[in-house]
Structure 1
């Protein structure tokens, strides 16, 4: 019999203390090796993803919204007031216009996602990123070694969006997209227990890789990861058009998901609290638009 999922210890920036977070992820989803369990294989297929999405978009799923809001203490006063047609419709709810703001200081990077953050100041040519006992290679995440090469020795931010979070992703700075590619096939959950048991989890998942040329933070490798029941990474801003700081980039359609940002060496530095807690294996809870890095250009 599978054990109950354990709570995750996180650093809550607003409260200034460590907290525990519990999300009811199904244990066998991440403890069985790929394709070994029939149920897991089925849940990882595009067909399941589509059927589950259709189910969650059904009108009767609206009854699940209020219990979820109560259980996880979601402050709905921050979101636009409207009638949601389904649970899936509520999942992609949007903040009221002034609920979140990006920094006025152009040298400060605002959080592109409301999420739990890990950060590294730099990484070497042979380094892989520790994520709860496993590791990720930059070239695998970004698609190839050539694309990863400009970021060697640079900073990294890794964001995990919980099912309770706002699931829209925003641009951290003004700029333009200079390269983009959609990679990956099978979808798997991206909870940290999943990452521990599947070292190559992220490179299996569908992901959108964008190389962004930004005004104040240089070139960024910006990667959005799909996860179980989140195969639909929908781009809200045309990738062939320039973008402004804080503008909505994309939305994840239902479920958990993740985002990674790679920076050029010496271009910027992740926030102190994120760097301080990452070696402890503790993510930092950050709200959309809050400071997550500082530009080192001209420093």
Structure 2
């Protein structure tokens, strides 16, 4: 059972988890863990399932998934009948009116829909995965020089579960460099898995890039793949200016994670998110909503 904080209602709710029983069995039983290490975490397993979800035959899974998880399909650009496969539904685009993007340039907005943890004054060698498990930014991106820029800065960890909208966006106007790709495994990023696999984000397939934002400094974007995520697709054009809220990319099927790192003294995360993080609860957010402000505003 995963409990998260609903910012709008100021209440705690229980997350609906796709494949909850098999996920729990895989990461809690000896047989499940052996199967995980031998087969499930391997690229071939995710690639084969991803291949199936790209096929027309997988379209039959769309309606049951929508009904089981009460997904608001009215916000999608396409109708249910127009999806060509399950993956086509999974990484669906939304109507422009589906998400309200905070237009204040000094508001830090969420880059996507999902559940959010946030940390300030980060220690590069002891980033929090979950209570008791940490990892290093140097290990995560395999670039010590870039990592050093974010010492004592802030980071946000946005977890996209399979029922979420799976495109991720730019938090500001600016220019993004090219993407660096790091091969890895395909563990789940569900909290159940994060409590079992040490340095999970450093084990999984991931991609990173530096976004030169107009208002928040150089932001390090890290996209982490997960079980059955066949691909991380980057849709932006490197070195070309982008607008606030513009699309950066999307994940194919599976739960996934986007981690953003900010340099010191650039942002102040909203207090309710920091409080819930300290209590051990993720906060539910939507793409475009304010999750913080530009740091300089607080000192004026």
Is contact 2:125–2:135 with CA below 8 Å preserved after alignment? no
Equivalent-residue separation in structure 1 for 2:56 and 2:66 (angstroms): 17
State how many pairs are aligned.
293
User: Which range is displaced more, 190-199 or 73-82?
Assistant: 73-82
Secondary structure class of the residue paired with 1:255: coil
Quote the residue 1:131 is aligned against: 130
Quote the residue 2:12 is aligned against: 18
Residue 27 of structure 1: CA displacement? 2.8
Residue 213 of structure 1: CA displacement? 1.1
Residue 267 of structure 1: CA displacement? 0.5
Question: Could you report, residue by residue, the CA deviation over 1:200-255 in whole angstroms, capped at 9, with x for unpaired residues?
Answer: 11111111111111101011111000111114111111123222111100110111
Is contact 1:184–1:203 with CA below 8 Å preserved after alignment? no
Quote the residue 1:219 is aligned against: 218
> More helix per residue: 1 or 2?
2
Equivalent-residue separation in structure 2 for 1:148 and 1:19 (angstroms): 35
Is contact 1:184–1:207 with CA below 8 Å preserved after alignment? yes
Equivalent-residue separation in structure 2 for 1:62 and 1:224 (angstroms): 26
Quote the residue 1:8 is aligned against: 2
Superposed, which structure 2 residues align to 1:37-186 within 5 Å?
Answer: 37-38=34-35, 40-82=37-79, 83-124=82-123, 126-178=125-177, 180-186=179-185
Quote the residue 2:200 is aligned against: 201
Residue 81 of structure 1: CA displacement? 3.1
Unaligned runs of 5+ in 1: 1-6
Is contact 1:100–1:288 with CA below 8 Å preserved after alignment? yes
Secondary structure class of the residue paired with 1:197: coil
Equivalent-residue separation in structure 1 for 2:26 and 2:238 (angstroms): 33
Kindly report structure 1 stretches of 4+ aligned residues shifted beyond 6 Å. Answer: none
Equivalent-residue separation in structure 1 for 2:43 and 2:275 (angstroms): 39
User: Which range is displaced more, 285-294 or 235-244?
Assistant: 235-244
Quote the residue 1:4 is aligned against: none
Superposed, which structure 2 residues align to 1:242-261 within 5 Å?
Answer: 242-261=241-260
- CA RMSD in angstroms comes to 2.1
Change in Cα spacing, 1:32 to 1:203, as seen in structure 2 (3 Å) is farther
Structure 1 residue 277 corresponds to structure 2 residue 276 = yes
TM-score for both structures, normalised by structure 2: 0.91
